[in-house]
Structure 1
Amino acid sequence: MRFSESLKKNSSFREVYKNGKSCVNRYFVMYVLKNNTERNRLGISVSKKVGNSVVRHHITRLVREAYRLQEEKFSSGLDIVVIARGASRKVTYQETEKALLHLGGLHHILRKEDEIF
């Protein structure tokens, strides 16, 4: 991730949950909060309810990779937390990418086509 960092601390996640806006689709919940920097911070949360550690780690890798490859489409200066829902257990990479872009569109955090490098 060239333009982003990972969101790691529990206090950072709680701050985004408390003050951020959320949107939902079939596979994920996305919380977004401005962070007053020039970089995005991405946090991914997958509950034990979704599956065992292999499944949870697989979903985390899918979300991280889908975000990494579409990173330039997202506005900068945001804390983004993606929470996997139960339906994401059998999600493919293409569905993950489409779901992330859909949530970005709902939050109005996608850049216009002419703004992309």
Structure 2
Amino acid sequence: MAIKKSYRVKRQKDFDQIFAAKDSFANRKFVVYKLKTGVPHYRVGLSVSKKLGNAVTRNRVKRLMRHALRSMEANIEAVDFVLIARPGVEALDFQAVQSNLKHLLKLSKIYHNGEKD
């Protein structure tokens, strides 16, 4: 199932605001930029460069990223964030994408294991 429209960052202005906050974290496969907002739930923007492959490959990567986010959504903090896929992610399977995303979101304090700090 797709991510609901209200859970997506779509407008260029929103992307620009998130990037302007300069609050970023990275691991080997992904980069995340985040921005605290007053929205009652998280909103996510996905970015997959043409350097990663053709349209089929890029859409597969985005599909895996969305699926991984859906599986973790109960523990994701109410912030706006943009996920950027790095080269090498196109070779990963779902389990690897999910574990890399979980690691990065924990690092950036967007993902919580149910406990609050």
- Whether TM exceeds 0.5 here: the answer is yes
Alignment of 1:5 onto 2:19: no
- Cα deviation 1:35-74 (Å, max 9, x = unaligned): 1111111100001011110000000000001001110111
- Cα deviation 1:67-110 (Å, max 9, x = unaligned): 0111011112x001000111111111111111111111111222
- Cα deviation 1:7-33 (Å, max 9, x = unaligned): 111111111111141111111111111
Where 1:8 maps in the other structure, the secondary structure is coil
* Stretches of 4+ aligned residues off by more than 3 angstroms: none
Where 1:75 maps in the other structure, the secondary structure is coil
Letter in 1 for 2:114: E
Quick one: distance in 1 between partners of 2:102 and 2:22?
18
Alignment of 1:28 onto 2:30: yes
Quick one: distance in 1 between partners of 2:88 and 2:113?
30
Where 2:51 maps in the other structure, the secondary structure is coil
Q: Identify the range of structure 1 (39-48 vs 101-110) with the bigger mean alpha-carbon deviation.
A: 101-110
Quick one: distance in 2 between partners of 1:107 and 1:114?
15
Aligned pair count reads 113
Alignment of 1:98 onto 2:86: no
Q: Which residue number corresponds to residue 80 of structure 1?
A: 81
Where 1:17 maps in the other structure, the secondary structure is helix
Quick one: distance in 2 between partners of 1:69 and 1:89?
20
Letter in 1 for 2:57: V
How many percent of aligned residue pairs carry the same amino acid?
Answer: 35
Please give the TM-score of this superposition, normalised by the length of structure 1.
Answer: 0.88
Q: Which residue number corresponds to residue 70 of structure 1?
A: 72
Asked if the contact 2:106–2:112 (Cα under 8 Å) also holds between the matched residues in 1, the reply is: no
Q: Which residue number corresponds to residue 17 of structure 1?
A: 19
Letter in 1 for 2:27: N
Please give the TM-score of this superposition, normalised by the length of structure 2.
Answer: 0.88
Asked if the contact 2:41–2:77 (Cα under 8 Å) also holds between the matched residues in 1, the reply is: no
